[in-house]
Amino acid sequence: MNILTDEVIYQVNGLTHRGFVAFNDLTSPPRPGILLIHEWWGLNDYMRSRAEKIAELGYVALAIDMYGEGKVADDADEAASLMNSVLADMESGTRVLQAAHEALVDQPQVNEKWTAAIGYCFGGAMALHMARTGMPLLAVVSFHGALGSFHSAEPGSIKPRVLVCHGEVDSMVTMDDLAGFKSEMDAAQADYQVNVYPGAKHGFTSEAADGNSEKYGLDVGYNARADNKSWDAMEVLFDKVFY
């Protein structure tokens, strides 16, 4: 299988955002399109590798650039600063997400009616925000994402099916946070599923998490079992909503 990749540029408020698109050359278009939203580090090689894994499944994957100009943090302090600049102005952040979705459906291989969004950590929060604000998606998946809301969804307004993949011993997004999220989804009458992985910490999908834990004193860690099981759950969800 040959995976084709390219840069996808989109503009928001005069700022250039540099996404990364990947798709395989075996699946006939039009096909589903998946947005990938990065961790607080930015659109790095890890996110590109995840986009290529999505492409191997037969989808078009667009790993988006939330920060603009392809900014990638060099350390945890810079990552926090970049992330917080988005969270402090979610009106602009929402426009970035909307523009990224438009860039995805503009890809000639994508069926505009078949789109989904997945995100990691910060990106998980952004993917859930897309669901809460009614963006035209069939599915949303959060991998160890923040669960707090920037937008209160009205009952019946969350259209995509939602999957939250959460680590049982995540100290950054606690089980209390998860309980609050479930209450919110119940009140919004959302179609959602929560998978909790025993022994998994925040960042459980990233093989770099153990090194980042040691380097920056973060309570994160890679968990291969949770990584594989959460990816499998995503595949099952996509099979249900797209085919």
Which amino acid does the sequence have at 112? Answer: E
Instruction: At 40, give phi and psi (nearest 5°).
Output: -65, -15
**What average pLDDT score do residues 145-170 get?**
93
Instruction: Give the whole-angstrom CA distance, residue 214 versus residue 205.
Output: 17
- pLDDT of res. 40: 98
pTM for the complete prediction? 0.96
Instruction: At 78, give phi and psi (nearest 5°).
Output: -70, -40
- pLDDT of res. 161: 98
- pLDDT of res. 149: 86
Of 205, 23, 233, 224, nearest to 108 (Cα)?
A: 23
- pLDDT of res. 150: 85
- pLDDT of res. 16: 97
Torsion of CA 149, 152, 158, 162, to 10 degrees: 20
Could you give the number of structural domains in the chain?
A: 1
**What average pLDDT score do residues 213-218 get?**
96
The predicted-structure confidence for 193-206, as pLDDT tens digits, reads as follows 999 999 999 999 99
Domain of residue 184, CATH code: 3.40.50.1820
Expressed as residue numbers, the domain containing 51 is 3-242
3-class SS of residue 134: coil
The predicted-structure confidence for 7-54, as pLDDT tens digits, reads as follows 999 999 899 999 999 999 877 789 999 999 999 999 999 999 999 999
The predicted-structure confidence for 78-130, as pLDDT tens digits, reads as follows 999 999 999 999 999 999 999 999 999 999 999 999 999 999 999 999 999 99
